[in-house]
Amino acid sequence: MKHIFLSALSAISIMFAPASFAQDAATVELGQNASGIDLADFKWTNRVLVVFADNPLDLNFVRQMNLLTDRPELLTERDVVVLTDTDPDTLSPVRKTLRPRGFSLVVVDKNGAVMFRKPDPWDLREITRAIDKTPLRQQEIKAAKDAAQAAR
């Protein structure tokens, strides 16, 4: 049931999004199911944004997923992978590690540390600003600026 719902949600989001979004959607896997995934697999390569809910029809879950589809390129720029877990009865490794209650938005940095947990949906502006304030992201921004200057 949850897979059907997520597929329908993704299809609706893509139908109403501009054509440029359809290209960007391929680069950010919005709503990849967290079952069978180990957070350690992403260490030092990706930040992980996990959206938890007790069921896929949770209003906060639906709202959060809609907010994430606004500008997925912002997540791609920050090496963010989006995972979802809407089945508390099946304890995925991610759910065991992060131990959410009800709806929860959790962002894990590339070093494996939990950056923040939120009990309510956040828009992309809030998420990206919080990510950009971290020391690791600041280093990435500085390295990119230095590389751009060296290329001149």
Q: What is the mean pLDDT of the chain?
A: 85
* Domain housing 38: 2-150
Mean pLDDT check: name the lowest of 2-6, 19-23, 24-28, 40-44.
19-23
The pLDDT score that the predictor gives to residue 9 is: 46
Residue closest to 77 by CA, chosen among 27, 13, 123: 27
Look at residue 31 and tell me whether its pLDDT is greater than 70: yes
Please state, for a pLDDT cut of 70, what percent of the chain lies above it: 81
- Number of structural domains found in the chain: 1
Buried-exposed string 21-43: b where 16+ CB fall within 10 A, e elsewhere: beebbeebebbebbeebebeebe
The pLDDT score that the predictor gives to residue 78 is: 97
The CATH code of the domain that includes 61 is: 3.40.30.10
